Structure 1
Amino acid sequence: MRRCDKLVHWISLQKHLFFVFAFLFVVPNFVLFFTESLPITVGVASILLPLAFWMGLLLLTRKPGIVVWCFLPKVILDGGQLVLLYVFGQSVIAVDMFLNLTSSDASEASELLGNLILIISCVFFLYTLPTLWLAFRSIRSKKVLSASFRKKWAKISLLMFITGVVFCFLSPLQDYRFSLKDDIYPANALYNLYFAINKAEKNANYSKTSANFKFDATKPVQAEGRREIYILVVGETSRAMEWSLYGYDRETTPYMEKLAGLAHFTDVVTQSNNTHKSVPIILSAASAEDYGVIYSGKSIVTAFKEAGFHTLVIANQKLTTSMIGAFYREADTFIDMSQFKAGSYLTSLHDGAILPYLQKELDKSKGNVFVVLHTYGSHFNYHERYPKEFSIYNPDQVEGIRASHKKILRNAYDNSIRYTDYVLNGIVEILGKTNACASMMYLSDHGEDIFDDSRNRYLHASLIPTYYQLHIPLLIWFSPEYREVYQEKYQTVMAHQSIPVSTNTVFHTMLDIAGVRTSVADSTLAVSNHAYIIRDRMYLGDHDDPIPFWKVGLKKADFIMMDKWNIAYDKD
């Protein structure tokens, strides 16, 4: 009881609360000091500069709790930063994380938040709430900071700030270029928020900035006497290492393994671990090297439409608020399945529900057709991605995201891959019945971490990706009719299955397979073309800058896995 009384008396003094608030304001900085790969000079500056800054602000009033409440958004931001550090193990709140708040639907958000409720509660009750409660006590207290105390610590905070600046200037000695917007929290998080707002505005203005764009696309050669159907299936959160087609020890892709006319590319990496960036790269001529063209050009849907194809998009994800949705609305027919009732507003339909709509639309059109199918794939919660009859590996249902649940999570994830295999086979069967000259391409937008190594990383969309988020499956199936009519294209694809590929090849490959010609298409990026050129593969950084994918901050464990799966990268 005496200890409790002493503690209450201790925190009743404003000078003690001043130090408590100063420390609480830099808790994220201390954590980032140990998680980020910064030179020691920059690491020290990343603590000294914000600590001095907040100390100076807290001294502006005689009751420092007033400053804390004035900076309530900062307290909330700190809580979010701590949650993300728990989830990803490193990195400041990224641009993509802010954008994900606007591009995720209620179902997706509820699944994630529901499984993070424990850590969110811990941060709230152990950090956010105590900070605000102590600030309230500071304001209510009759005691104030003395003038001498404020003057003394103002001088000390100024000295600390100057010392921090000196450390910043020393960073070149360690071959590092210091940047306030990259290296100091919360300046970096606030810059990322600004960047995200600016990017969201560009997304919103897409219809205006691309209004006058034309592919001038044509299809010079037609399969005589046959209609042509080309389908692009955009998967979600599927990693190649979990496909038995690629050598996984569980039988997760029995249909694909027996499918004639199928090519599977073994060395494919995504250019982004975020859906809202990866999928637009898949659907357009944009790439990590030239992402800005996404705002002035149009998507592959329009290219096929200009070439005389009836265009169809069926999406099982709510993507109408992102660039992806803008691309999909370019189609002649857009079926947004996220609007259909699935039993609950917070759940989605299984991907197999796409098949009847695909069949119906193909039956309605007798000419050439181009289709984009956007699936929910293996997005968390994994056990909700497939019907009960696909619950092959058990147990597969668990509440909460914890490393101790890894085996169960992997069971559910593998079941979702098995269901994807079933859905893809269903698409092939529908195409087979048309007797058309047809092809289906499938790939995932990115992979996923599932507590795979000692880092205990989970999910995707982290600022620093891992091997598990980068290595994805890419398949191309050709109907017997296509193999007969366009034999050379088919043989070229089959010969290229082991070459290094990234997601920016999809746009060019789909057009090349279909024989659609446009000046925007690049034959050196089409795996179906003899002109394909192997080049360094780039990753789209958080500020939309291109980075060689092996230089994004991967760790030793990632390189071990890349070597195991024969992923090509510069080892010099």
Structure 2
Amino acid sequence: MNNKPKNHQSFIYLLGIILIITAPGSFFRLLNDDLLTFIVNTSAAICLFLLPIVLFRNRLKWYAWLLLPVILVSIFNIASIYHYQMPINDGLLTVAINTNQEEFTELASGYWFSFLIITFLYVLTYLFLLNRVPKQLSLKQSATVSATALLIILLLPFFDEASYGYFRKLRARYYSVFPTSVIYAASNVYAQYQIMDETKSERDQFSFKAVQYNNQPQIYVLVIGESDRRDHWSLYGYHRNTTPKMSRKKNLIPFNNIHTTGYLTEFAVPIILTGIDPTNFMQHTKQKSIISLFKEAGFETYWISNQTDYGHISIHAAESNNRYFFSLDENRKTKNANDDSELLPPLKKVLAEPGNKKFIIVKLQGSHYDYAKRYPKQYDVFKPSNKTVPTSANDYINKQIIINTYDNTVLYTDTILDEMINLIDQQNKISTVFYISDHGEDLFDDERRLSQHAAEIPSKYIAPIPFTIWYSNHYKQLGENQIQQLNLNKEKKASSQHLLFTIAELAGIKFPLFDSTKSLSSKAFIENPRYIIGGNLKTFNSDSLQ
């Protein structure tokens, strides 16, 4: 007697493979979307895999084998959902491309065992199901399956309330459904890199036509922080004394209503450097940055970084006359030490070099995860912390330990900024030090339990960032009117997009593209709607974030 299951029964095993592929994304949607959206997206994902069945009806097991790479990508999708509370998107792919070996190790620490267990179980389940998938399916059965899948797919746009057309609705649905969402995200990232390559000639020919008529010795320093939240600075009213030195600093102006323009460093920093509107982000690839603005005005320019600056950032970092990447050795691997104090010796060296006019950008590790590796033991003030109590990055139960550790990074950044300002002050020259963070950080602030900054729709905790301007006594004598105007504007709504114009005006640099309505040191400054880049380069009003 033949006990082998019939084809229509054993076809269930192929459906089982499809379900384990789509399950992680469906589970995420179940937790984060309304019931209808969950049903529609799950149906879209399953039907996508059922559609080709009629074509593979005589080689059904081959088709099951072809799904193995998708199974493997699905495992990484599980890791993304678990670690970042977000399926794989273009932002996470960008982070992956720009992550070096040490950063990857930091992010993956504590997850290796669980990741290997999930991989083992997924592959084992896949092989179990694969072994039971029939070799073929009848034309009638396969045509019924494919036709039903096609019909459901064609009906999907009718469940979308958006105002745009039928085919755009259909495309949009699959942009958000695994695995086509990964293909869409990868194509977006690839297109961005293609544009960066294609616009190199236009970028090289760009000129601000900038001039400065002041030949006195001057030093302007822009310090870019990492994942630094304004509401975790005691300078801005935080209940912990996280910024004791900056709070006491003379000649310091803190701005109380500044938002970032990008949820990831890769997007936020180019806007800081170029002043481009976030709604037209890729325009930054066609022009130069504040570095070239100062070069044209006669300044020697320096880029000092404790991060690996690839992609969108690298094309502007390359504009500087001198570059120091202290997170890299000759083999382009990150050192084990990630202490921002490493940036102080090169800064001293730069200040000691001959030259009357210097523009220096310093890029910190700041509060980038892994927080416990961002500061030495003597700054382990808020306890218990991850210095002594290890947790995973998304350990909601032990969130206070993670928040304690994060606050210690802010405390250490306070010291680094204080020492940098002291170094500049000792030069006894016309000088200013600007500090701004690239973006904020999620710290399990509400029921969404978000951590770090990967959510493709940024939370309201990502947008507000610290921005301060320190000025020397020599600058005070020169720019008393500008300082007065900065104080008048420090409560106004502004964003990191305004930095280039503000710094340029304070430095007395003139150029045709200067817009006084975007300068915080100008009487003409105008408050406008603020936008932030999220996943897939979509922009959101940062004042309306939840």
TM-score computed with the length of structure 2 as normaliser:
0.90
- Structure 2 unmatched ranges of 5 or more: none
State whether structure 2 residue 521 is matched by structure 1 residue 528. yes
Contact 2:192 2:282 in 1 (8 A): no
Which of 498-507 and 9-18 deviates more? 9-18
Pairing partner for 1:214 from 207, 215, 230:
207
State whether structure 2 residue 417 is matched by structure 1 residue 445. no
State whether structure 2 residue 454 is matched by structure 1 residue 461. yes
- Please give the alpha-carbon distance, in whole angstroms, between the structure 1 residues aligned to 2:292 and 2:206: 10
SS in 2 for 1:468: coil
How many angstroms does 1:82 deviate by? 2.3
State whether structure 2 residue 464 is matched by structure 1 residue 471. yes
Q: What is the aligned partner in structure 1 of residue 361 from structure 2?
A: 372
Q: State the one-letter code of the partner of 1:27.
A: A
TM-score computed with the length of structure 1 as normaliser:
0.87
Contact 1:87 1:457 in 2 (8 A): no
SS in 1 for 2:468: strand
Q: What is the aligned partner in structure 1 of residue 120 from structure 2?
A: 125
Contact 2:90 2:189 in 1 (8 A): yes
State whether structure 2 residue 302 is matched by structure 1 residue 312. yes
Task: Provide Cα deviations, 1:124-166, integer angstroms capped at 9, x if missing partner.
Answer: 2343x13432355247xxx64452xx62253144224313422
- Please give the alpha-carbon distance, in whole angstroms, between the structure 2 residues aligned to 1:417 and 1:341: 30
Q: State the one-letter code of the partner of 2:405.
A: A
State whether structure 2 residue 255 is matched by structure 1 residue 260. no
Task: Provide Cα deviations, 1:311-359, integer angstroms capped at 9, x if missing partner.
Answer: 111111111x3221221221111111122499x9452431111112111
- Please give the alpha-carbon distance, in whole angstroms, between the structure 1 residues aligned to 2:126 and 2:14: 13
Task: Provide Cα deviations, 1:450-490, integer angstroms capped at 9, x if missing partner.
Answer: 22222211111321111222221111111111112100111
State whether structure 2 residue 479 is matched by structure 1 residue 489. no
Q: What is the aligned partner in structure 2 of residue 563 from structure 1?
A: none
Q: State the one-letter code of the partner of 1:353.
A: E
Structure 1 residues 62-461: aligned runs within 5 Å: 62=58, 64-90=60-86, 92-127=87-122, 129-134=123-128, 136-138=130-132, 144-147=135-138, 151-172=140-161, 178-181=169-172, 182-221=175-214, 226-319=216-309, 321-340=310-329, 345=334, 347-397=336-386, 398-401=390-393, 402-461=395-454
How many angstroms does 1:445 deviate by? 0.5
How many angstroms does 1:404 deviate by? 2.3
Pairing partner for 2:19 from 23, 28, 31:
23
Contact 2:328 2:335 in 1 (8 A): no
Contact 1:436 1:481 in 2 (8 A): yes
State whether structure 2 residue 33 is matched by structure 1 residue 44. no
Q: State the one-letter code of the partner of 2:392.
A: G
Task: Provide Cα deviations, 1:359-396, integer angstroms capped at 9, x if missing partner.
Answer: 11111133011100001101111111111221112222
- Structure 1 unmatched ranges of 5 or more: 1-5, 556-572
How many angstroms does 1:216 deviate by? 0.7
| Corresponding residue pairs, total | 534
Task: Provide Cα deviations, 1:219-258, integer angstroms capped at 9, x if missing partner.
Answer: 1345xxx411110000011111111111111111010110
CA distance change for structure 1 residues 381 and 49 in 2, over 3 Å: closer, same or farther?
closer
How many angstroms does 1:52 deviate by? 2.3
Task: Provide Cα deviations, 1:537-563, integer angstroms capped at 9, x if missing partner.
Answer: 011243434432245xx43xxxxxxxx
- Please give the alpha-carbon distance, in whole angstroms, between the structure 2 residues aligned to 1:412 and 1:32: 28
CA distance change for structure 1 residues 135 and 432 in 2, over 3 Å: closer, same or farther?
same
Contact 1:44 1:167 in 2 (8 A): no
Q: State the one-letter code of the partner of 1:381.
A: D
SS in 1 for 2:470: strand
- Please give the alpha-carbon distance, in whole angstroms, between the structure 2 residues aligned to 1:11 and 1:79: 29
Contact 2:210 2:510 in 1 (8 A): yes
CA distance change for structure 1 residues 461 and 209 in 2, over 3 Å: closer, same or farther?
farther
CA distance change for structure 1 residues 77 and 131 in 2, over 3 Å: closer, same or farther?
same
How many angstroms does 1:106 deviate by? 1.5
Task: Provide Cα deviations, 1:5-35, integer angstroms capped at 9, x if missing partner.
Answer: x9x9999973331231232232144224324
Q: State the one-letter code of the partner of 2:367.
A: S
Q: State the one-letter code of the partner of 2:521.
A: S
Q: State the one-letter code of the partner of 2:353.
A: K
Which of 429-438 and 454-463 deviates more? 454-463
How many angstroms does 1:178 deviate by? 2.3
How many angstroms does 1:72 deviate by? 2.7
- Please give the alpha-carbon distance, in whole angstroms, between the structure 1 residues aligned to 2:102 and 2:283: 31
Contact 2:263 2:534 in 1 (8 A): no
Contact 2:7 2:137 in 1 (8 A): no
SS in 2 for 1:211: helix
Q: State the one-letter code of the partner of 1:358.
A: L
- Please give the alpha-carbon distance, in whole angstroms, between the structure 2 residues aligned to 1:520 and 1:104: 35
Contact 1:285 1:521 in 2 (8 A): no
How many angstroms does 1:109 deviate by? 1.4
How many angstroms does 1:435 deviate by? 0.7
- Please give the alpha-carbon distance, in whole angstroms, between the structure 1 residues aligned to 2:451 and 2:159: 36
Task: Provide Cα deviations, 1:153-186, integer angstroms capped at 9, x if missing partner.
Answer: 5314422431342242243489997242434433
- Determine what percentage of the aligned residue pairs are the same residue: 24
CA distance change for structure 1 residues 380 and 111 in 2, over 3 Å: closer, same or farther?
same
- Please give the alpha-carbon distance, in whole angstroms, between the structure 1 residues aligned to 2:515 and 2:162: 43
- Please give the alpha-carbon distance, in whole angstroms, between the structure 1 residues aligned to 2:23 and 2:176: 15
- Please give the alpha-carbon distance, in whole angstroms, between the structure 1 residues aligned to 2:330 and 2:111: 26
